[in-house]
Amino acid sequence: MTTADEATARPAAPVRLPLRRPEQGRWFGGVALGLAAHLDWPVRRVRVMFAAASLIFGVGVVLYAFLWLTVPVGDPVQAAEITRPAFLGRLARRQEVSGRPLRLPGPEVLAGVLLLAGAALLLLGRDHAAVNLSWVLPVAVLVAGVVLAWSQLGVVTRGRSREVAGGRAQAFLRIAGGLLLAGVGVLLLATQVIGTGIDPGLLGQVVVAAVAVVAGVALVLAPWWLRLVRELGDERAARAREAERADIAAHLHDSVLQTLAIIRARADEPGEVARMARAQERELREWLYQDRPAPGTSVAAEMRAVVAEVEDTRSGPEGEAVAVDLVVVGDRVPDACTAALLQATREALVNAVVHGRPPVSAYLEVGEDQVEVFVRDHGDGFDPDDIPADRFGVRESILGRVRRRGGTATVTCKDSGTEVHLVVPVGPCAADEEPTPGNGTAQQNQKEKAT
């Protein structure tokens, strides 16, 4: 066994990893690899020891087969992770046992095994001429069948047969083929024991009798087996439900319960309470109803983040929390233009919340060639031409920002309120002195700190 540089990334943990048979990097059943991880030895040493032990009356082979059957498949590091306390597991994820999925090519191994077996037979035949070949064939058939059936055991017991190439049908075929081979082997052996040789008539009787016995036993045991299967299914469903409930409970505990506790403690500050309730509502809503898009892929999500930030950090003229009604139509991938638009939107929202009068509404419409934002409040409004030049807020951060991107910005004041209308064209965006990446609008806004 020539081993390559089996650099199994064993974590330098003082505790011993549980005994598992890893699927990555195994040669046969992963026994040596798992044992090495468990004992914290080099894999090479374990493999050499197995090989050496095999020479002593096949002890190594027997031991290997025994461990193959008894040790469950799995990643030792992950198994250790599961048994570790949760608070440790959260801190950092361990490195996984990595290794090339090294497998010897099946046909060559088979040929080698057959050759070895042939050689052994020849050797035995020379020393003890009494070896009867009629015994060898049934045993070989039996062993082949058993190996074929057991080779699927690890897969089937883990319920992962669907992930394996070929799927369930192949697994079933292999087990059925293994059963058939083993059955034929047993029959041949039985006829051998009886000593009549392979007599077709007797063989037929034996087959019928064997099938009848097996069928009878199956019939008797069927109810127990069915109940076992059903209980297993029930148990699995219960565990899934339990996991789901734990997930929800953890979320409620981490967010909602804590917020409620804070709200109760600060019940005499209505503004703060309203703000916290609003933030919590938003967060819970997001958790319940929305599939969160990946960051940097959705203007709508960034708009929601902007609104959330303004709601959380800004208060109305009397220090009260102001909710912003946001409606979003359409979505697209953000670019520099929408980033500028959202920054301007943020300034407009801050203006509406701080200086205007609630209710404040925001509307984002993503069209094919332009993105529009309306921010509306019910305050008395302001005339953009009257703004003194030193008030940088509206003039520069709202109007200027959008106009530099080839968009338009208008402020309308009516007796029903003030509305800021921002439009930017999307597509190739004009370069600009502000280096604005396509995402991360919220963080940028926080750095910028409006006037």
* Residues in touch with other proteins (CB under 8 A): 285, 289-290, 323, 325, 327-330, 359, 361, 363, 365, 367-368, 374, 376, 416, 419
In the bound complex, what is the minimum distance in angstroms from residue 416's beta carbon to other proteins? 5
How far is it, in rounded angstroms, from Cα 198 to Cα 413?
Answer: 104
* 28/363 with CB nearer other proteins: 363
Task: Output the six-digit token pair for 270.
Answer: 């209505």
In the bound complex, what is the minimum distance in angstroms from residue 148's beta carbon to other proteins? 46
In the bound complex, what is the minimum distance in angstroms from residue 158's beta carbon to other proteins? 34
* 26/376 with CB nearer other proteins: 376
* 186/277 with CB nearer other proteins: 277
* 361/441 with CB nearer other proteins: 361
In the bound complex, what is the minimum distance in angstroms from residue 374's beta carbon to other proteins? 5
In the bound complex, what is the minimum distance in angstroms from residue 325's beta carbon to other proteins? 6
How far is it, in rounded angstroms, from Cα 149 to Cα 171?
Answer: 9
* 32/371 with CB nearer other proteins: 371
* 290/451 with CB nearer other proteins: 290
How far is it, in rounded angstroms, from Cα 323 to Cα 310?
Answer: 9
* 342/362 with CB nearer other proteins: 362
Cβ of 224: how many Cβ atoms within 10 Å?
Answer: 9
* 247/325 with CB nearer other proteins: 325
User: 182 with 142: CB under 8 angstroms?
Assistant: yes
Residues contacting residue 430 through CB under 8 Å, at least 6 positions apart: 404, 405, 406
In the bound complex, what is the minimum distance in angstroms from residue 159's beta carbon to other proteins? 30
In the bound complex, what is the minimum distance in angstroms from residue 349's beta carbon to other proteins? 13
In the bound complex, what is the minimum distance in angstroms from residue 367's beta carbon to other proteins? 6
In the bound complex, what is the minimum distance in angstroms from residue 397's beta carbon to other proteins? 22
Transcribe 133-144 into DSSP letters. Answer: HHHHHHHHHHHH
* 174/376 with CB nearer other proteins: 376
The sheet carrying 417-425 orders its strands as 324-329, 360-366, 370-377, 417-425, 408-414
Q: What H or E segment, with its residue span, contains residue 371?
A: strand 370-377
Render the burial of 167-205: b for 16+ CB within 10 Å, e for the rest. Answer: eeeebeebbeebeebbbbbbbbbebbeeeeeeeeeeeee
How far is it, in rounded angstroms, from Cα 364 to Cα 166?
Answer: 49
DSSP state of 425: E
Transcribe 223-250 into DSSP letters. Answer: HHHHHHHHHHHHHHHHHHHHHHHHHHHH
How far is it, in rounded angstroms, from Cα 156 to Cα 149?
Answer: 10
How far is it, in rounded angstroms, from Cα 358 to Cα 324?
Answer: 8
Calculate the CA dihedral of residues 123, 128, 129, 135 and round it to 10 degrees: -80
In the bound complex, what is the minimum distance in angstroms from residue 164's beta carbon to other proteins? 33
φ, ψ of residue 322 in degrees (nearest 5): -120, 125
- For β-strands 324-329 and 360-366, DSSP reports them as parallel
* 38/421 with CB nearer other proteins: 421
In the bound complex, what is the minimum distance in angstroms from residue 41's beta carbon to other proteins? 56
* 6/377 with CB nearer other proteins: 377
Q: What H or E segment, with its residue span, contains residue 366?
A: strand 360-366
> How many residues comprise the chain?
451
Which residue, 368, 275, 263, is CA-closest to 315? 275
